[in-house]
Amino acid sequence: MPVVLLVLFVILVIILASCIKIVPQAYAYVVERLGAYQGTWSVGLHIKMPLIDKVAKKINLKEQVVDFAPQPVITKDNVTMRIDTVVFFQITDPKLFAYGVENPIMAIENLTATTLRNIIGDLELDQTLTSRETINTKMRSSLDEATDPWGIKVNRVELKNIIPPAEIQNAMERQMKAERERREAVTRAEGEKKASVTVAEGKKQAAILEAEAEKQSAILRAEAQKEKMIREAEGEAEAILKVQQATADGIRMIREAGADEAVLRIKSLEAFEKAADGKATKIIIPSEIQGIAGLASSVKELVSDK
């Protein structure tokens, strides 16, 4: 009898222990009572009724990532390609998630495939390759709306890889190679153009500097010539001044020696004789000196007759 009581006690303890549940962070438990939905347990300590309550589903509330296999799609211009997608989703309502759909992940995968085919079917190949952001936005909006009755929120959808047919890939590679060669040719031409412009600018600057130097040299030569002429003129003026001074001194000495007017005029004639040494072509002689010259000629003739 004591053994039976002990066994019953142990069984009772085990049952009571199984009725105590601790829900960890970022999880939720869906609880059923006699097969019907009873409630949703959030984080913390919970106690269920023994034998009649059970935890039907433990649900992860963290954001989850699902990478789906590549799906074949056909573009508007009849090009078949394969696209694989990555879906980021989060469970917002544990009850709807538990009872909304049988296999939520498979449902999301199939919904992603059909949505992708509908979107790509309206785009051509080039648009598909260059409109990833647009495709991602449309898919996220469509999936989020479709999965809302299942208690799922689609946060983000990304096209992981777009795989066109082999012949399309080869054509794209040839096109990219031609584009790179074209850019290289344009870059080389631009470089040659800039080099030519630089050389021309250098020659222009050199010509300008050379002309400026020639101008400065001509100005300096003109200044030097001017200074030389000034010095020569000053020298000639000084020489004339000295000659005039010497002549004045001579006349003064003659006056001081008591020479008469006739002697002075004869000296003036001698001065004109020196002035007419072949360098002057015309000499204007005052009438008084002309008279003296006639008198001198008469005296000379009288002396000759004697």
Which of 82-86, 87-91, 116-120, 180-184 is the least confident region?
Answer: 180-184
Share of the chain above pLDDT 70, in %: 82
Which of 192-206, 218-232, 289-303 is the least confident region?
Answer: 289-303
Amino acid identity for residue 65 in this structure: V
- Smallest CA-to-CA distance from 296 within 268, 254, 255, 276 is with 268
| CA distances to 198, 232, 254 from 7, in Å | 103, 147, 177
Q: CA 87, CA 147: separation in Å to the nearest integer?
A: 12
Please, what are the domains in the chain? Answer: 2-60 (no CATH), 64-164 (3.30.479.30), 263-306 (no CATH)
Amino acid identity for residue 197 in this structure: V
Residue 296 has pLDDT above 50, yes or no: no
Residue 20 has pLDDT above 50, yes or no: yes
Cβ-based neighbour number of residue 150 at 10 Å: 21
Q: CA 38, CA 55: separation in Å to the nearest integer?
A: 10
pLDDT at 255: 67
Q: CA 88, CA 100: separation in Å to the nearest integer?
A: 19
Residue 32: pLDDT band (50, 70, 90) is very high
| CA distances to 18, 20, 110, 150 from 103, in Å | 28, 29, 11, 10
Q: CA 44, CA 20: separation in Å to the nearest integer?
A: 11
46-90 confidence digits (pLDDT tens):
888 888 888 889 999 999 999 988 888 888 888 888 898 999 999
Amino acid identity for residue 212 in this structure: E
Q: CA 19, CA 49: separation in Å to the nearest integer?
A: 6
Residue 125: pLDDT band (50, 70, 90) is confident
